Structure 1
Amino acid sequence: MLGLDADQLRADMNRLLAFLFHQGILDDQFLQLQQLQDENSPNFVSQVVNIYFHESEKLLRNLRSSLMDRELLSYDKIRIHLNQFIGSSSSIGAQRVRNICAAFRAASDHSNRTGCLRALEVLEHEYCILKSKLHELFQIEQQILLAAGVRYPVMN
């Protein structure tokens, strides 16, 4: 992408965002999160999303280990993890991940281990798509800052 000016990069970013909304990967909550970003905190959204990724990966590990241990399988614990995942996904606008968590929770409500395992696979897949696309978005955002010639204050 070297040589592209900031306007072209913004157009790329807008196309990617439009795709993410059209596909239902993101919802309007992501736009509200973006509105909280300003000159004083230019990386606010990426910082919040990186916290989300860190916490989500722990939740995914916990869900997988809970489902793998048949003797200690606790659907109540699974629902707690899923409720946390639903809440954090809602807060960043991760619509498809949130919806899959809700379907996963329905399987856990029926103590359906096979359904939970299937839902976990879908959840991990959708989470990877979300993570990949948001990383792509943040890379474009960083390139826009560089292309715009961000100036750092001179220290005296």
Structure 2
Amino acid sequence: MADLQQQMAALLQQCVAEGLLDEQFHQLLQLQDESNPDFVSEVAELYFDDAVPKIQRVGQLLSDPSPDFSELDAVVHQFKGSSASLGAGGMAKLCIRMRELCQQRDVPGCQALVLQMQEQFTRLKQQLGAYLSMEAQRKRLAAGG
């Protein structure tokens, strides 16, 4: 069990070092307790369910020859908020940069950035999924199962 907890801590440190997660994620972990043991996994699941259509919509908007920058900005603004709430600091920073590029109406810049967002999202989902898997395993071990 101590080994598993060390692996979990190391994975979180790696995520912070890579810029995938920030201090806000640690604050979410603090909110998880016996009365709400699945809080973090539920928040993460909601985030991932919400993020997929947002990233897809950003890609759709940017595939238009003359993108609707106000809608693009609104979608990215929402995604920035949910990313910041989860503690996905790297994604929130990409969203801030995308909003700046929207204001400049920089289509090539936005198109390049949406690819970075997709890569960041895939990496975040992978790493956070691994962490939550270990967390579920830790809970089973703690429960004697």
**Cα deviation, residue 29, structure 1:** 0.5
Partner of 1:47: 42
TM-score normalized with structure 2 length: 0.95
Partner of 2:102: 108
> Which residue among 132, 138, 150 is the counterpart of 2:132?
138
**Cα deviation, residue 69, structure 1:** 2.0
> Which residue among 69, 73, 82 is the counterpart of 1:88?
82
Letter in 2 for 1:117: Q
| Cα separation, 2, equivalents of 1:150 and 1:125 | 38
| Cα separation, 1, equivalents of 2:108 and 2:51 | 22
Structure 1: runs of 5+ lacking an equivalent:
1-5, 152-156
1:59 and 2:54 correspond: yes
Q: Deviations over 1:57-107 (max 9, x none)?
A: 110111111111225x20010000110011000001101111111111111
| Cα separation, 2, equivalents of 1:48 and 1:150 | 26
**Cα deviation, residue 30, structure 1:** 0.4
**Cα deviation, residue 150, structure 1:** 4.6
Letter in 2 for 1:114: P
Bigger Rg, which one: 1
> Over aligned residue pairs, what C-alpha RMSD do you find?
1.2
Which has the larger share of helix? 2
Structure 2: runs of 5+ lacking an equivalent:
none
Percent identity over paired residues: 30
Partner of 1:70: 65
Letter in 2 for 1:134: L
| Cα separation, 2, equivalents of 1:123 and 1:24 | 13
**Cα deviation, residue 149, structure 1:** 2.9
Q: Deviations over 1:27-82 (max 9, x none)?
A: 110011111111121111010111011111110111111111225x2001000011
Aligned residues: 145
